[in-house]
Each structure stands twice: as C-alpha cells, then as structure tokens.
Amino acid sequence: MRRFPPLAIAGFLVVVAALLALPAFAMPYHVRVGQLFLLSTALVLAWHILGGFAGYWSFGHTAFVGIGAFAAGLLHFHLKLPPMTGFVVGTLAGGLASAAFAAMLAYPVLRLRGIYFAIALLGVSQVFGELAQNVDALQGALGITLPDVVPDDLRPEVFFYYCFLALAVGYFVLSAWMRDSRLGYGLAAIREDEDTARMLGVPTERFKIATFVLSAAMTGLVGAVYAYSLGYFTAGSVFRVDFSLNMILHALLGGIGTLTGPVIGAALLVFITNVVLGRLLDLHLLVTGVLVIALVLLAPNGLLGVVRSWRERRDGR
C-alpha cells in the first residue's frame, strides 16, 4: 500500500477547507458554479474507477444517473416520507437501485471489451431513457415533483453544494484507497492486458463485476441528489447523453488513470464553460467538441500526461 507524502495530504486538506469555506464569501452564482464543479467531480470519479482504473469505458453511465433519480423520486412520491427522512432514504435507494441494475447487467455486458462494451452501455442508457419516458408508472413524461428538503437556515444552492462536496470528497478518498489496494492493482493489470492478468491469477471477472456495480451505485447516489436539487425532473432532465460525454471528457482532459486528473479536468472544463463563456451558452457544445479534437491530437494522455512528459524530458537533459 502506497503511503501518501505529508505535503500531498496537507494540500488535500487545504483544498477541502477552502471548498468548505467558499459559500461563506462567494456570490450565489459562484456557489452554483462550485456546485456544478462538485457534481461533475463526483460523477467523473464514479465513472473513473471503471473507465480509468479498469479500462472499461462506459458511454452509458447516464443510465445510472437516471435510475438513481427515478428511484429516489418514486420512493419519496409514493411513501410520503418527511422531507429530510425522504431525502436520506431516497438517496440511498437511488444508489441501491443503480447497483441492482448494474448487477443484472454485469455478466452479459462485461463479456464485451473496448468499443463494443462502450456501445452496449450507450444502448442500455437509451433503453432506460425510453422506458422512463413512455411507461406511465414511471411518470417520466409528466415529471416528478420532489418536496423541499433544504433546512430553513440554508439557501438551496448552499445545501446542495455541501451535499455534492461530501460525495466528491468521499469518492476521491475511496478512489485513492482503491487505486493502491489489491483490487486497484488487479484493475490496472486488467486495463493493461486482461488475458495476461487472468493467466497470472487475477480474478478478472470478480474484480470487473465488483467495480462495475460500485461505479453504478456511486453514480446513482449522485443522480438521486441531483434530482432533489432540481426539485422537479422528467426523463429528459436526468437521462442526458451529455452526462456520459462530460464524464469521459473530464477524465481525458486531466489524465485518465490518474488520481487527480479527473478532478482537474472537471474544474477546468466547468470554469471554461461557466465562467469564461458564461454569457455565451451557445458555444458550450462547440468548446466541448474543440477540446475533444485537441485532446486526441495534442494531449492524448491529458494535462497530467503533458506535465509528466515535460518532467521526463527535463530530467533527461
């Protein structure tokens, strides 16, 4: 097990403390931008333990965002729980529902690799989105209204900012532990050469299924909290293809397979699209497309890969 340098731990604690303090002095708009960053960070970290550590890129993690949202919304709607109790129970239900669906999908879809796995998950997300939209019992077309769960002494954007902060920090710590655990080393072996990993005794099927289910559960938790932050949502609000696209793009931008790369990628892209281009909403998709092209051509290993290459060249002189 790798031991983290004290400087790295201190830096992590400073960043967390700064994020905790941000709502106290930031304007409401900047708190909302921070909330979007933390939402994006939680989502990309949930995706990354499968796509980054194991090398199984999912184009359909949107499905688990939507499943988590609908599980929370339908449970809260039918059980008529008190707001805060319903929020906690509904959020947990969102994670469990996503994990259950992932467990059912795991055996058939994880037999696929590469682009076939990615396309299969994309198809699954489209199927779930259509079901939510067209099955009357799911109310995806009419939409689901959730009660106000925000305590009286907090503004909504601040409350959900801290909810997403808790998820993002928890997922980062889990990713740090997981990367340097036996499971993490096994996933790295699977990413590099799955057949060789199997011959060397790595329980590849068990590791892949466990990681797939865990990644789905983490995504479902975020989807449930996201639904409560919206207050009212339809199938189109949560089964959004851009969720999956952004998860992949954030990981690629920072450096896929690294610990901090996905967080850096999420921070940079959210800053560009919401602060630099905040008044030019029509350019968001254009910027995303240009970034994808630039990444493929100029920095296939992400920003951290560029930094690593620069250090290697400097040390080699």
pLDDT in tens, 282-300: 666 676 677 667 776 776 6
pLDDT at 294: 74
Q: What is the pTM of this model?
A: 0.91
pLDDT at 9: 86
pLDDT at 49: 95
Asked if the structure places residue 175 within a domain, the reply is yes
Asked if the structure places residue 211 within a domain, the reply is yes
Answer yes or no: is pLDDT of 312 > 70.
Answer: no
Asked if the structure places residue 296 within a domain, the reply is no
| Secondary structure of the chain in HEC code, one letter for each residue | CCCCCHHHHHHHHHHHHHHHHHHHHCCHHHHHHHHHHHHHHHHHHHHHHHHCCCCCCCCCCHHHHHHHHHHHHHHHHHHCCCHHHHHHHHHHHHHHHHHHHHHHHHHHHCCCCHHHHHHHHHHHHHHHHHHHHHCHHHCCCCCEECCCCCCCCCCHHHHHHHHHHHHHHHHHHHHHHHHCCHHHHHHHHHHHCHHHHHHCCCCHHHHHHHHHHHHHHHHHHHHHHHHHHHCEECHHHHCCHHHHHHHHHHHHHHCCCCCCHHHHHHHHHHHHHHHHCCCCHHHHHHHHHHHHHHHHHHCCCHHHHHHHHHHHHHHHC
Average pLDDT, the chain: 88
- Split at pLDDT 50, 70, 90, the class of 164 is very high
Answer yes or no: is pLDDT of 191 > 90.
Answer: yes
Asked if the structure places residue 54 within a domain, the reply is yes
Answer yes or no: is pLDDT of 304 > 80.
Answer: no
Answer yes or no: is pLDDT of 206 > 60.
Answer: yes
pLDDT at 274: 77
Q: What is the pLDDT of residues 144-161, one digit of tens each?
A: 999 889 888 889 899 999
Asked if the structure places residue 285 within a domain, the reply is no
Q: What is the pLDDT of residues 77-93, one digit of tens each?
A: 888 888 888 899 999 99
Q: How many domains does the chain have?
A: 1
Asked if the structure places residue 84 within a domain, the reply is yes
Domain with 194, as residue range(s), is 35-239
Answer yes or no: is pLDDT of 1 > 60.
Answer: no
Answer yes or no: is pLDDT of 177 > 70.
Answer: yes
Tell me the C-alpha distance between 262 and 48, whole Å.
8
